[in-house]
């Protein structure tokens, strides 16, 4: 494989800088801007969404990690070790996204309605040490009380109460994390609730869900520590015919309250529907938005993110709306069939590339063509901009951030296979 010398990186960058400058884009400034746009990396790619609660089997709740690549992280230390490796191959400052199921309870059984921030202290210390932020998610699946298929929308009052309590505790934990790390923690509520076959009554559960969310979100926290989000879905495995928390449901919910934002997951819509065009609509009504950048492939909503048109148009939309300070960019995928570090690094580097590509776009020239009514030029420029020397700027950004340039990181993962293969 080809290894870039620093001389090559510098020379190519100097040439690229000149080209972009001619189009009115300052590449140095773009690299500075990149630093202010953290991508939130989900911990659950590292262990196939299993968690540390010693309940074996699949993740349940309408999602499923397939594959059996060796070396799945089995505890907090292994997961952090793996994330350390991945983070060392990803340029810039990322965030880390946790789920309540990654609580560390020292072998004690602590149910989800009993969790407190102390069960996440190791994560907090680790993140503090690295100077990164943490985001959080209550876990409303992989639990006996989720087996009915319903959690916050459950007509069974005992089950519902349990999940409401879990939701409340998760917000407390998230706010404490945000405070400890001095960076607002995004707490994202996603519930799997839904039904395989046609329900006779769709509305009762939606009404219950609204009530439950109101209860969970009742306590006020400082926006400096906590940002509340709700994530919609169209269908999942075993919830093909009905998902209580649909897009329309949560759109309505976030419009009805100022203090909760919407989460759009790229894999949660009709298979040919993309989320890029939704961004500007939502930002017309809301100041903030959470994205789960993922890749849907047929029935699966969670393939590893790649630098494709969908990912790119999401980034372009954020850039064109001038909204990188309003949109929380998180990743959500899990592939157990390939090296899990490779999955993290590929997906995150792809997302960062898309962000950088969008920042390097001479958008003002596109808008100028549009405003002057020259739509032929708008299209022509869009096409020509696709071959601007973006790769040279990306390589320079990696080099400046002391992470491998080009394909070099793949060797690092290869060396790390030794650690993975020792986990028998």
Give per-residue burial for 206-226: e unless 16+ CB within 10 Å, then b.
bebbbebbebbbeeebeeebb
Helices (H) and strands (E) in the chain, counts: 14, 12
Strands 300-303 and 295-297: antiparallel
Using CB under 5 A, which residues numbered 262 to 281 contact Zn ion?
Answer: 265
**Closer CB to Zn ion, 291 or 393, in the complex:** 291
**Closer CB to Zn ion, 99 or 292, in the complex:** 292
Which part of the chain contacts ligand RNT (CB under 6 A), choosing from 26-34, 71-79, 231-239, 377-385? 231-239
Q: What is the dihedral of CA 398, 403, 405, 407, to 10 degrees?
A: -130
Any contact of residue 231 with ligand RNT (CB under 6 A)? Answer: yes
CB 266 within 8 A of CB 290: no
Please report how close the Cβ of residue 307 comes to ligand RNT at its closest, in angstroms. 21
The binder of 137, among ligand RNT, Zn ion, none, by C-beta within 5 to 8 A per type, is ligand RNT
The binder of 92, among ligand RNT, Zn ion, none, by C-beta within 5 to 8 A per type, is none
Query: 335 an active-site residue?
Result: no
- Measure the CA–CA gap between 319 and 324, rounded to whole angstroms: 7
Please report how close the Cβ of residue 137 comes to ligand RNT at its closest, in angstroms. 5
Q: What string marks each residue from 297 to 316 as x (binds ligand RNT by CB under 6 A) or -?
A: ----x---------------
Any contact of residue 332 with ligand RNT (CB under 6 A)? Answer: yes
Please report how close the Cβ of residue 44 comes to ligand RNT at its closest, in angstroms. 5
Query: 247 an active-site residue?
Result: no
CB 329 within 8 A of CB 356: no
Exactly one of 53, 135, 193, 265 binds ligand RNT (CB under 6 A); that residue is 265
Please report how close the Cβ of residue 263 comes to Zn ion at its closest, in angstroms. 7
Query: 265 an active-site residue?
Result: yes
Residue 411: both structure tokens together: 């060797």
Query: 332 an active-site residue?
Result: yes
CB 229 within 8 A of CB 187: yes
Using CB under 5 A, which residues numbered 300 to 339 contact Zn ion?
Answer: 332
The binder of 313, among ligand RNT, Zn ion, none, by C-beta within 5 to 8 A per type, is none
Query: 394 an active-site residue?
Result: no
**Closer CB to ligand RNT, 266 or 381, in the complex:** 266
Neighbours of 301 (CB within 10 A): 25
Q: What string marks each residue from 29 to 48 as x (binds ligand RNT by CB under 6 A) or -?
A: ---------------x----
Please report how close the Cβ of residue 232 comes to Zn ion at its closest, in angstroms. 10
**Closer CB to ligand RNT, 59 or 358, in the complex:** 59
Query: What is the chain's length?
Result: 424
Nearest alpha carbon to residue 360 among 8, 32, 7, 12:
32
Which of 288, 300, 317, 361 is an active site residue?
300
Any contact of residue 229 with ligand RNT (CB under 6 A)? Answer: no
Query: 302 an active-site residue?
Result: yes
CB 97 within 8 A of CB 123: no
- How far CA 249 is from CA of 30, 208, 234, 419, in Å, comes to 37, 12, 11, 45
Query: 224 an active-site residue?
Result: no
- How far CA 360 is from CA of 17, 212, 366, 393, in Å, comes to 10, 44, 13, 9
Which of 99, 292, 328, 396 is an active site residue?
292
- Contacts of residue 88, defined as CB under 8 A and 6 or more positions apart, other chains included, come to 403, 412
Residue 291: both structure tokens together: 């994205």
Number of residues that bind ligand RNT (CB under 6 A): 13
Nearest alpha carbon to residue 170 among 221, 260, 99:
99
Closest residue (Cβ) to ligand RNT? Answer: 190
Exactly one of 80, 171, 233, 319 binds ligand RNT (CB under 6 A); that residue is 233
- Measure the CA–CA gap between 292 and 266, rounded to whole angstroms: 6
Exactly one of 42, 166, 169, 292 binds Zn ion (CB under 5 A); that residue is 292
Strands 39-42 and 327-331: parallel
- Measure the CA–CA gap between 259 and 187, rounded to whole angstroms: 12
Q: Which positions are catalytic?
A: 190, 231, 233, 265, 268, 292, 300, 302, 332
Residues engaged in binding Zn ion (CB under 5 A): 265, 292, 332
Residues engaged in binding ligand RNT (CB under 6 A): 44, 49, 63, 99, 137, 190, 231, 233, 236, 265, 292, 301, 332
């Amino acid at each position: 494989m080809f290894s870039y010398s620093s001389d090559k990186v510098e020379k190519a960058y100097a040439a690229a800088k000149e080209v972009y400058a001619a189009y009115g884009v300052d590449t140095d400034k773009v690299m500075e801007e990149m630093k202010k746009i953290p991508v939130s990396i989900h911990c659950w790619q590292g262990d196939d969404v299993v968690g540390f609660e010693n309940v074996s089997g699949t993740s349940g709740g309408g999602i499923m990690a397939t594959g059996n690549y060796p070396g799945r992280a089995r505890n907090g230390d292994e997961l952090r070790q793996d994330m350390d490796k991945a983070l060392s191959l990803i340029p810039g400052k990322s965030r880390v996204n946790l789920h309540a199921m990654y609580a560390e309870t020292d072998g004690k059984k602590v149910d989800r309605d009993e969790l407190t921030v102390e069960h996440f202290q190791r994560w907090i210390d680790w993140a503090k040490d690295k100077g990164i932020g943490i985001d959080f998610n209550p876990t409303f699946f992989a639990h006996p009380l989720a087996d009915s298929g319903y959690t916050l929308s459950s007509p069974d009052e005992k089950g519902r109460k349990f999940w409401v309590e879990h939701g409340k505790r998760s917000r407390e934990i998230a706010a404490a994390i945000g405070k400890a790390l001095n960076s607002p923690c995004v707490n994202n509520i996603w519930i799997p609730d839904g039904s395989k076959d046609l329900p006779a009554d769709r509305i009762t559960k939606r009404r219950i869900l609204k009530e439950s969310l109101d209860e969970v979100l009742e306590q006020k926290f400082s926006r400096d520590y906590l940002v509340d989000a709700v994530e919609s879905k169209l269908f999942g495995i075993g919830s093909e015919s009905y998902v209580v928390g649909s897009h329309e449901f949560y759109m309505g919910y976030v419009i009805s309250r100022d203090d909760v934002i919407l989460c759009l997951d790229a894999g949660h819509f009709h298979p040919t529907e993309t989320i890029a065009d939704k961004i500007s609509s939502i930002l017309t009504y809301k100041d903030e938005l959470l994205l789960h950048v993922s890749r849907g492939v047929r029935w699966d909503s969670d393939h590893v993110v790649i630098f494709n048109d969908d990912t790119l148009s999401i980034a372009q939309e954020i850039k064109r709306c001038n909204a990188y300070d309003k949109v929380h960019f998180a990743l959500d995928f899990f592939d157990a069939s390939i090296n899990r570090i490779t999955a993290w690094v590929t997906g995150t580097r792809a997302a960062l590339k898309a962000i950088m590509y969008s920042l390097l776009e001479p958008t003002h020239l596109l808008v100028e063509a549009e405003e002057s009514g020259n739509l032929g030029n708008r299209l022509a420029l869009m096409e020509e901009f696709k071959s601007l020397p973006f790769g040279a700027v990306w390589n320079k950004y990696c080099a400046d951030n002391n992470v491998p340039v080009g394909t070099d990181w793949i060797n690092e993962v290869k060396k790390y296979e030794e650690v993975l293969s020792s986990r028998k």
